[in-house]
Amino acid sequence: MSADLTDFAAGIDLLRQMDLTAGLSGPELSELAKIARHTDLPPASVVFREGQNQSVIYWVVDGAITLETTGARLKPIVLLTVGPGEVLGWSALVGDSRMTARASTVTNTRLIGFPADDLKKLCDKNHELGYRVMNSIAENLSRRFHATRQFLVGAIE
């Protein structure tokens, strides 16, 4: 189920739970809320598939999501599990919109999604917000590269 954050009273409070929005003013949060959508998903829901074009970037509010890819024998390989504060679908904002992994929920999960084109426009207009968004993505990618390296080292040994 997806809903506009301005449709429920706790929308701004939900946005405030995110590290991404720490220190943003009320008007800045309102601008973000105008383009944000929350989604609640049960376990075993597919957020997106590997190779799929994606136009929404998500931040995980609650829950757990596995990122997996298909191995040489078409067997799924779980790369890592992400949780609150993590970004999904970042390619939609910073590059090719094709997803490089499949994302599926492990538990009941709440996501906040932003249409990538709308978020880009907002970041262009508000450079402080743009910095926060890109910093959040960079921190997430750094953790993922580290996790992938550990995975590969473990697979080789």
Q: Are 79 and 8 in contact (CB under 8 A)?
A: no
Residue at 2 is within a domain: no
Burial of 36 (0-12, 13-18, 19+ CB in 10 A): buried
Residue at 27 is within a domain: no
Residue at 26 is within a domain: no
Domain carrying residue 55: 38-156
Residue at 116 is within a domain: yes
For residue 7, is pLDDT > 70? Answer: no
Residue at 14 is within a domain: no
The torsion region of residue 83 among left (phi > 0), alpha (psi -120 to 50) and beta comes to beta
Q: What is the pLDDT of residues 92-136, one digit of tens each?
A: 888 788 898 999 999 999 999 999 999 999 999 999 888 888 888
Q: What is the CATH number of the domain that holds 144?
A: 2.60.120.10
Per-residue pLDDT, 94: 84
In sign, the C-alpha dihedral spanning 61, 62, 64, 65 is negative
Quickly state the pLDDT bin for 10 (edges 50, 70, 90).
Answer: low
Residue at 51 is within a domain: yes
Quickly state the pLDDT bin for 9 (edges 50, 70, 90).
Answer: very low
Q: What mean pLDDT value characterizes the chain? A: 85
Q: What is the pLDDT of residues 67-98, one digit of tens each?
A: 998 876 778 888 889 999 888 998 888 878 88
Please give the tally of structural domains in the chain: 1
Residue at 75 is within a domain: yes
In sign, the C-alpha dihedral spanning 133, 139, 142, 146 is negative
For residue 8, is pLDDT > 50? Answer: no
Q: What is the pLDDT of residues 27-61, one digit of tens each?
A: 888 888 889 998 999 999 999 999 999 999 999 99
Residue 6 tokens, joined: 């301005």
Quickly state the pLDDT bin for 12 (edges 50, 70, 90).
Answer: confident
More confidently predicted of 9 and 98: 98
